[in-house]
Chain A
Amino acid sequence: MTVRLFVPRDAAALSVGAHGVALAFEAEIRGRGLDATLVRNGSRGLFWLEPLVEVETPSGRVGYGPVGPGDVPGLVDAGLLTGGAHRLSLGPVEAIPYLANQQRLTFQRCGVIDPLSLDDYAAHGGLDGLRRALALGGAAIVDAVAESGLRGRGGAAFPTGIKWRAVLEAEADIKYIVCNADEGDSGTFADRMLMEGDPFLLIEGMAIAGLAVGAEKGVVYVRSEYPHAFRRLGQAIDIARRRGLLGFDLLGSGRRFEMEARLGAGAYICGEETALLESLEGKRGQVRFKPPLPAHHGLFGRPTVINNVISLASVPFILAEGAAAYRDLGHGRSRGTTPIQLAGNVRRGGLIERAFGLTLGEIVEDYGGGTLTGRPVRAVQVGGPLGAYWPTSLFHVPFDYEAFLERGGMVGHGGVVVFDDSVDLAAQARFAFAFCAHESCGKCTPCRIGSIRGAETLDKIIAGEAPEANGDLVRDLCEVMRDGSLCALGGLTPLPVLSAFDHFPEDFERRPRSAAP
Chain B
Amino acid sequence: MSGARQSSRLAEWDAGATTRIVEDLRHLDGPLLAILHALQDRHGYIDDQALPIIADLLNLSRAEVHGVVSFYHDFRRRPPGRHVIKLCRSEACQSVGGERVARRLEASLAIAAGETTPDGRVTLESVYCLGNCALGPAALVDGKLYGRVDEKLLRHLVSPEVAA
A interface residues (Cβ-Cβ under 8 A, vs B): 11-12, 14-16, 47-48, 50, 183-189, 191-192, 224-231, 262-268, 279-286, 300, 341-346, 349-350, 372-373, 381, 385, 415, 417-420, 423, 428, 431, 435, 438-439
Instruction: List the one stretch of B10-18, B25-33, B103-111, B115-123 in contact with chain A.
Output: B25-33
- Residues in B neighbouring A183, C-beta threshold 8 A: 129, 131
B interface residues (Cβ-Cβ under 8 A, vs A): 1-4, 29-34, 36-37, 64, 67-68, 71-75, 86, 90-96, 127-136, 138, 140, 143-148
User: Are B134 and A343 closer than 8 Å at their CB atoms?
Assistant: yes
Q: A224: which of B3, B144, B148 is its contact (CB, 8 Å)?
A: B3
Question: How long is the Cα–Cα vector from A344 to B96 in the complex, in angstroms?
Answer: 6
- Residues in A neighbouring B147, C-beta threshold 8 A: 12, 15-16
Known contacts A263-B34, A284-B67; is A349 also within 8 Å of B134 by CB?
yes
Chain A contact residues: over half helix, strand or loop, or mixed? mixed
Question: How long is the Cα–Cα vector from A342 to B2 in the complex, in angstroms?
Answer: 28
Question: How long is the Cα–Cα vector from A261 to B143 in the complex, in angstroms?
Answer: 19
Q: B91: which of A47, A187, A230, A284 is its contact (CB, 8 Å)?
A: A187
Q: A227: which of B3, B95, B133 is its contact (CB, 8 Å)?
A: B3
Known contacts A265-B74, A284-B71; is A428 also within 8 Å of B91 by CB?
yes
Chain B contact residues: over half helix, strand or loop, or mixed? loop
Closest 10 CB pairs of A and B: A349-B134, A282-B32, A186-B90, A343-B133, A265-B72, A15-B147, A282-B30, A266-B74, A266-B73, A344-B95
Q: A15: which of B93, B143, B145 is its contact (CB, 8 Å)?
A: B145
User: Are B96 and A262 closer than 8 Å at their CB atoms?
Assistant: no
Q: B60: nearest residue on chain A (CB-CB)?
A: A282
Known contacts A47-B134, A282-B68, A344-B133; is A186 also within 8 Å of B2 by CB?
no
A387 to chain B, nearest CB (A): 9
- Residues in B neighbouring A343, C-beta threshold 8 A: 92, 133-134, 136
- Residues in A neighbouring B91, C-beta threshold 8 A: 186-187, 344, 381, 385, 417, 428, 431
Question: How long is the Cα–Cα vector from A283 to B68 in the complex, in angstroms?
Answer: 6
- Residues in A neighbouring B130, C-beta threshold 8 A: 11, 225-226
User: Are A349 and B75 closer than 8 Å at their CB atoms?
Assistant: no
- Residues in A neighbouring B133, C-beta threshold 8 A: 186-189, 341, 343-344, 349, 415, 417
- Residues in A neighbouring B31, C-beta threshold 8 A: 282
User: Are A431 and B94 closer than 8 Å at their CB atoms?
Assistant: yes
- Residues in A neighbouring B72, C-beta threshold 8 A: 265-267, 285
User: Are A225 and B131 closer than 8 Å at their CB atoms?
Assistant: yes
Q: A226: which of B34, B68, B74, B131 is its contact (CB, 8 Å)?
A: B131
Question: How long is the Cα–Cα vector from A16 to B149 in the complex, in angstroms?
Answer: 9
Q: A16: which of B67, B71, B90, B135 is its contact (CB, 8 Å)?
A: B135
- Residues in A neighbouring B71, C-beta threshold 8 A: 267, 284-286
Known contacts A186-B91, A344-B96; is A14 also within 8 Å of B33 by CB?
no
Q: A281: which of B30, B67, B93 is its contact (CB, 8 Å)?
A: B30
Q: B145: nearest residue on chain A (CB-CB)?
A: A15
Q: Which of B71, B130, B147 has the most CB of A within 10 A?
A: B71
